[in-house]
């Protein structure tokens, strides 16, 4: 509750700040303070202290998991803003507006981690999405950015419509918006109004797949990620996506049972399609930004494993995966933002001229590829284990690792460009502090890679 | 003690990143690796205690290091190889030498970890850790086609280890106490179908690493294109990871499945032995010849392993060490020749015995060991291995036996072309021999003949592993 109130409040404050304060660095600092306050507010709720103790009538429920997810996502936003503050100021006219939108997105995030009612899911998704449409089109004079925003808006609202239809059908079946586990008749194996219920769930499934950009609902992703200003792509691909996944996870953790054995058919199909489309298409990209867009589709395929069935590995794994993937992606995008162009050739010779940047980028890419001693390894490990524990066949795991091996191909293409191809990298000036910020992300990834338990301890105490 | 064998190379690798002067870096790297060797010698000759630290409490995975005879003999091989390689190649000119050396020592850390880990997740961790520095070493300092070749090697082994990871997940989920320790893995309750699946998953990883025919295609290219120091690491120590994996994990964990699969695996191993031997005859490049000969030797070891009898196992345990020493010696000779003449092509070489008699004698010594002549260390291992193959099936032993004859053909052919004949144009440009490299060769040759004449210390060292496997 604290987080929802404070984030909305700071959204408004930032709007006034963008009107009253003209200096971009002051705006950034206000935003950073806001994020710290937000983190503290969330921490205090985790320890049982509320700003306002409102009875939500069961609309929201604040679980340990949800609050902890909040905390992690807020910290990621803090890190993101701290690193990318200057780049945000370079987009458009007034950075304050964007910070305001960030806070509104975070408000949506905190609803999505704590909803207990499908109406709140809908509201959360909307609060999350609308600022994103604006951020995508933030580079007003760039046609690609405009196109991306329009495309995103049209397709996004369509998918929200589908979500709403799904919710309606479920209401028709159960007479309630609450996320309670469906009652299944033991003799028939069906729930009450099975047809309506599964129809509704499938529609929600489709809409959520759209939000997390899983195939076959991924078509907007490359264009939108490519067209949007690079700093905002970084935000979209990480924190927003992670929040959408947590919502996705929460819905189907309780509801998947209603789909019965067909869940075990639908989900693998979507997983394999997502891995296939993401990985295979990424191999053929010539622009790093588009490659990362497809890689984010591929990574979504891995995160979908958590939905297969309930287990400790799934709950811990989805948080770990979200954090590790976000950290690495924020890092890669933070480097990409400094490039003059986005082709692979632009990175040629980076290892020689900017050893520190090249080294940190290597860590990020290794983490995305899931190589040990970076966090990505344990993220993938947890997901694979979750899949196996919840009863998926070994063939699904083997398919997954085949695609993981393919992913090495395109991530390492960038490493090869940096270290093994001679050339002058097309890179803007980078100051020392920026390098240390990147190094910090790399170190966090390495720490998680050796001791992933640091992330989970809080879930249990 | 065991922890130091990991920590010293690791810390040294980090320190080396900051020593820009290549001469100082050389000295530092050599002295750190020599220091590691001295500690390993202590471990080999004394009783050691296991290291058991908490690592991942949620997963119940522990930082468990343990050393039995098998681990000790490979630890010894690793610890001998690295200083030998670093001394022998100290004079090779490379840019950014300090980073090269640092990556070498990271590799040593990974390899040592693989041989000591008693916990499956930790094993997997080190298994990958040994690979990553090698990827960079080969891609940065390798030959002309290095990038594509190294990438093939990397993807091959990475995919293999992912298969192993699934095998680990399968076993871990079925252990009674949900733990990664090798002891719990032995008590996992698996149906016979599951056991077979897990066996295949593990075996793919190990077979790629060894490599066994038909998964060997990465190897000759990778050996040829890598900088020689790395080739030495790859062929002397790294391929042993696959064999080690079979002895430590595969055979004890899945005895029934191993019995079922043994005929098939022995057959493909022997096919691989013959195939590699015959290809070796046709090679003109010294590096490629040694690479194929190495595939043949490893294939023989893999065949002997799966006969699962005590004699064969003893032979393999000794041969793990001997093959490492022999192939290291051959590589060092090949490297000296290449550094001084600028070619590896045997067509252009000749007359080494006239130009540099000492080097030629050393070369012939290692060549004889490569053929496994009596008195050399390889004879001991190969004799025992053929013995076990004969007990398994005489026809298989006969087929594999052809490889001995072929080995003599290609090795002696190499000796003839390189060491004897007229002094060729290339050979005539050779400078005075590198004293340090020759000293290393002499030491290695002493080891070759000592363990060939009196192999008992090696038998004693590995006695406990044999006992665990067969009693």
Tokens coding B110? 């990974």
Residues from B contacting A (CB-CB < 8 Å) are 55-58, 124-125, 128-129, 132, 136, 139-140, 146-147, 151, 154-155, 158-159, 162-163, 165-166, 169-170, 172-173, 197
Q: Is residue A423 part of a domain?
A: yes
For the segment A66-83, the average pLDDT, to the nearest whole number, is: 93
- The pLDDT score that the predictor gives to residue A232 is 93
Q: For all residues of chain A together, what is the average pLDDT?
A: 89
Of all residues in chain A, the one with the smallest CA distance to B59 is: A453
Check whether A5 has a pLDDT greater than 70.
yes
Of all residues in chain A, the one with the smallest CA distance to B126 is: A372
Check whether B103 has a pLDDT greater than 80.
yes
Give the pLDDT confidence of B159-171 residue by residue, as tens digits.
999 999 999 999 9
For the segment B272-281, the average pLDDT, to the nearest whole number, is: 90
Which of B113, B141, B152, B158 has the most A C-beta neighbours within 10 Å, making it the best mutation to test the interface with A?
Answer: B158
Check whether A460 has a pLDDT greater than 70.
no
- Taking alpha carbons only, the member of B324, B455, B319, B465 closest to residue B387 is B319
- DSSP type of residue B50: P
- The pLDDT score that the predictor gives to residue B471 is 63
Q: Which of A42-51, A59-68, A335-344 has the lowest mean pLDDT?
A: A42-51
Most confident of the following: A96-105, A185-194, B63-72, B419-428: A96-105
Check whether B467 has a pLDDT greater than 90.
no
Chain A residues within 8 A of B98 when measuring between CB atoms: none
Residue B199 banded pLDDT, cuts 50, 70, 90:
very high
Q: Which of A236-240, A329-333, B62-66 has the lowest mean pLDDT?
A: B62-66
User: What's the structural domain count of chain A?
Assistant: 1
- The pLDDT score that the predictor gives to residue A249 is 92
Give the pLDDT confidence of A156-197 residue by residue, as tens digits.
999 999 999 999 999 988 888 888 877 777 777 777 778 888
Q: Is residue A68 part of a domain?
A: no
Give the pLDDT confidence of A427-446 residue by residue, as tens digits.
888 888 999 999 999 999 99
Using the Cβ of A409 and the Cβ atoms of chain B, whether some distance falls under 8 Å is answered with: yes
For the segment A73-97, the average pLDDT, to the nearest whole number, is: 89
Using the Cβ of A389 and the Cβ atoms of chain B, whether some distance falls under 8 Å is answered with: yes
Q: Which residue has the tokens 């009898």?
A: B309
For the segment B434-447, the average pLDDT, to the nearest whole number, is: 87
Percent of the residues in chain A that have a pLDDT greater than 90, as a whole number: 56
Chain A residues within 8 A of B179 when measuring between CB atoms: none
As a three-state string, the secondary structure of chain A is CHHHHHHHHHHHHHHHHHHHCCCHHHHHHHHHHHHHHHHHHHHHHHCCCCCCCCCCCCCECCCHHHHHHHHHHHHHHHHHHHHHHHHHHHCCCCHHHHHHHHHHHHHHHHHHCCECEHHHHHHHHHHHHHHHHHHHCCCCCCHHHHHHHHHHHHHHHHHHHHHHHHHHHHHHHHCCCECCCCCECCCCCCECCHHHHHHHHHHHHHHHHHHCCCCCCCCHHHHHHHHCCHHHHHHHHHHHHHHHHHHHHHHHHHHHHHHHHHHHHHHHHHHHHHHHHHHHHHHCCCEHHHHHHHHHHHHHHHHHHHHCCCCHHHHHHHHHHHHHHHHHHHHHHHHHCCECCCEHHHHCCHHHHCHHHHHHHHHHHHHHHCCCCCHHHHHHHHHHHHHHHCCCCHHHHHHHHHHHHHHHHHHHHHHHHHHHCCCCCCECCCCHHHHHHHHHHHHHHHHHHHCCHHHHHHHHC
- The pLDDT score that the predictor gives to residue A262 is 85
Check whether B326 has a pLDDT greater than 70.
yes
Min Cα distance B162 → chain A (Å) is 6
Q: Is residue A313 part of a domain?
A: yes
Residue A98 and residue A13 in contact, taking contact as beta carbons nearer than 8 Å: no
Range(s) of the domain holding residue A189: 115-460
Check whether A461 has a pLDDT greater than 70.
no
Of all residues in chain A, the one with the smallest CA distance to B138 is: A420
Min Cα distance B186 → chain A (Å) is 20
Check whether B425 has a pLDDT greater than 80.
no
Check whether A376 has a pLDDT greater than 80.
yes
Chain B residues within 8 A of A355 when measuring between CB atoms: none
Using the Cβ of A447 and the Cβ atoms of chain B, whether some distance falls under 8 Å is answered with: no
Instruction: Give the span between the Cα atoms of B204 and B216, in whole angstroms.
Output: 12
Check whether B286 has a pLDDT greater than 90.
no
Reduce the DSSP state of residue B64 to 3 states and report it.
Answer: strand
- The pLDDT score that the predictor gives to residue A355 is 87
Instruction: Give the span between the Cα atoms of B17 and B243, in whole angstroms.
Output: 32
Using the Cβ of A78 and the Cβ atoms of chain B, whether some distance falls under 8 Å is answered with: no
For the segment B206-210, the average pLDDT, to the nearest whole number, is: 89
Q: What angle do CA B316, B320, B322 make, to 5 degrees?
A: 110
Give the pLDDT confidence of A399-426 residue by residue, as tens digits.
999 999 999 999 999 998 888 888 888 8
Instruction: Give the span between the Cα atoms of B121 and B169, in whole angstroms.
Output: 9
- The pLDDT score that the predictor gives to residue B438 is 86
Tokens coding B137? 């070493």
Q: Which of A296-310, B91-105, B263-277 has the lowest mean pLDDT?
A: B91-105
Percent of the residues in chain B that have a pLDDT greater than 90, as a whole number: 21
- The pLDDT score that the predictor gives to residue A222 is 92
Q: How many other C-beta atoms lie within 10 A of the C-beta of residue B228?
A: 22
Q: How many CB pairs under 8 A join A and B?
A: 68
Return phi, psi of residue A238, to 5°. -110, -80
Give the pLDDT confidence of A316-373 residue by residue, as tens digits.
899 999 999 999 999 999 999 988 888 888 888 888 888 889 999 999 999 999 998 8
Q: Is residue A110 part of a domain?
A: no
Check whether B411 has a pLDDT greater than 70.
yes
Chain A residues within 8 A of B125 when measuring between CB atoms: 372-373
Q: Write down the ipTM of this complex.
A: 0.90
Of all residues in chain B, the one with the smallest CA distance to A413 is: B151
Check whether A260 has a pLDDT greater than 90.
no
């Amino acid at each position: 509750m604290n987080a929802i109130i404070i984030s909305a409040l700071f959204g408004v404050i930032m709007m006034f700040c963008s009107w009253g304060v003209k200096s971009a660095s002051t705006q950034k600092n206000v935003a950073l303070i806001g994020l710290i306050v937000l983190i503290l507010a969330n921490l205090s709720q985790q320890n049982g202290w509320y700003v306002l103790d409102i009875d939500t009538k069961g609309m929201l429920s604040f679980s340990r998991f949800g609050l902890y997810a909040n905390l992690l996502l807020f910290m990621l936003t803090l890190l993101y803003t701290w690193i990318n503050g200057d780049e945000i100021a370079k987009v458009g006219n007034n950075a304050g507006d964007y910070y305001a939108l960030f806070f509104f997105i975070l408000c949506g995030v905190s609803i999505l981690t704590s909803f207990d009612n499908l109406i709140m899911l809908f509201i959360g998704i909307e609060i999350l999405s609308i600022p994103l449409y604006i951020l995508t089109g933030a580079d007003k004079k760039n046609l690609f950015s405009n196109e991306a925003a329009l495309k995103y808006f049209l397709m996004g609202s369509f998918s929200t419509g589908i979500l709403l239809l799904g919710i309606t059908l479920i209401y028709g079946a159960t007479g309630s918006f609450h996320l309670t586990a469906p009652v299944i008749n033991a003799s028939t194996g069906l729930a009450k109004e099975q047809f309506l219920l599964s129809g509704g769930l499938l529609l929600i499934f489709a809409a959520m797949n759209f939000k997390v950009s899983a195939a076959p609902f991924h078509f907007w992703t490359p264009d939108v990620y490519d067209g949007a200003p690079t700093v905002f792509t970084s935000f979209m691909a990480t924190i927003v996506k992670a929040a959408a996944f947590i919502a996705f996870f929460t819905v189907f953790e309780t509801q998947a049972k209603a789909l019965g054995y067909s869940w075990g058919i639908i989900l693998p199909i979507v997983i394999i399609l997502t891995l296939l489309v993401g990985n295979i298409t990424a191999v053929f990209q010539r622009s790093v930004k588009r490659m990362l867009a497809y890689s984010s589709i591929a990574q979504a395929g891995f995160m979908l494993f958590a939905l297969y069935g309930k287990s400790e590995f799934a709950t811990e794994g989805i948080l770990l995966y979200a954090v590790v993937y976000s950290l690495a992606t924020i890092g890669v995008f933070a480097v990409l933002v400094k490039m003059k162009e986005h082709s692979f050739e632009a990175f040629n010779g980076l290892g020689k001229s900017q050893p520190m940047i090249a080294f940190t980028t290597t860590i990020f890419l290794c983490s995305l590829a899931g190589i040990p001693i970076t966090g990505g390894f344990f993220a993938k490990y947890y997901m694979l284990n979750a899949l196996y524990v919840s009863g998926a066949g070994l063939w699904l795991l083997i398919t997954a690792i085949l695609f993981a091996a393919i992913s090495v191909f395109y991530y390492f293409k960038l490493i090869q460009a940096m270290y093994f191809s001679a050339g002058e990298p097309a890179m803007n000036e980078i100051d020392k502090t920026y390098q240390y910020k990147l190094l910090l992300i790399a170190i966090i990834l390495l720490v998680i890679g050796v001791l992933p338990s640091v992330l989970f301890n809080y879930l249990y105490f | 003690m065991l922890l130091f064998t990991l920590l010293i190379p690791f810390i040294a690798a980090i320190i080396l990143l900051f020593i820009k002067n290549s001469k100082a870096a050389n000295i530092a790297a050599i002295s750190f690796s020599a220091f590691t060797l001295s500690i390993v010698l202590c471990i080999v000759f004394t009783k050691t205690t296991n290291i058991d630290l908490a690592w991942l409490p949620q997963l119940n995975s522990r930082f468990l290091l343990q050393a039995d005879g098998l681990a000790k003999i490979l630890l010894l091989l690793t610890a001998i190889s690295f200083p030998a390689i670093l001394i022998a190649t100290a004079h090779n000119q490379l840019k950014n030498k300090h980073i090269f050396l640092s990556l070498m020592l990271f590799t040593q850390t990974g390899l040592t970890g693989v041989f000591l880990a008693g916990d499956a997740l930790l094993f997997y961790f080190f298994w990958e850790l040994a690979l990553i520095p090698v990827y960079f070493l080969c891609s940065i300092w390798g030959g002309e086609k290095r990038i594509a070749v190294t990438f093939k090697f990397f993807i091959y082994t990475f995919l293999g280890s992912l298969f192993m990871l699934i095998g680990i997940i399968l076993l871990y989920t079925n252990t009674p106490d949900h733990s990664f320790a090798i002891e719990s893995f032995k008590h996992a309750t698996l149906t016979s179908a599951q056991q077979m699946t897990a066996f295949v998953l593990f075996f793919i990883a190990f077979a790629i690493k060894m490599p066994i025919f038909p998964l060997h295609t990465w190897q000759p290219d990778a050996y040829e294109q890598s900088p020689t120091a790395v080739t030495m690491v790859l062929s002397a120590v790294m391929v042993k990871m696959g064999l080690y994996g079979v002895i430590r994990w595969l055979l004890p964990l899945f005895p029934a499945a191993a019995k079922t699969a043994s005929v098939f695996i022995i057959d493909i191993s022997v096919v691989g032995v013959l195939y590699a031997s015959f290809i070796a005859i046709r090679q003109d490049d010294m590096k490629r010849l040694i690479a194929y000969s190495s595939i043949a030797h490893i294939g023989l070891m893999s065949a002997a392993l799966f006969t699962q009898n005590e004699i064969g196992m003893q032979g393999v345990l000794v041969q793990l060490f001997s093959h490492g020493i022999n192939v290291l010696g051959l590589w060092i000779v090949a490297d000296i020749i290449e550094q001084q003449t600028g070619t590896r092509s045997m067509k252009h070489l000749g007359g080494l015995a006239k130009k540099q008699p000492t080097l030629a004698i050393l070369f012939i010594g290692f060549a004889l060991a490569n053929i496994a002549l009596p008195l050399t260390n390889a004879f001991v291992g190969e004799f025992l291995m053929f013995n076990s193959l004969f007990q398994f099936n005489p026809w298989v032993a006969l087929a594999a036996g052809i490889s001995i004859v072929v080995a003599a053909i290609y090795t002696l052919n190499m000796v003839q072309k390189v060491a004897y004949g007229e002094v060729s144009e290339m050979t005539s440009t050779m400078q005075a021999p590198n004293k340090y490299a020759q000293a290393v060769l002499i030491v290695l040759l002493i080891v070759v003949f000592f363990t060939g004449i009196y192999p008992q210390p090696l038998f004693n060292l590995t006695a406990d592993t044999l006992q665990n496997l067969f009693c």
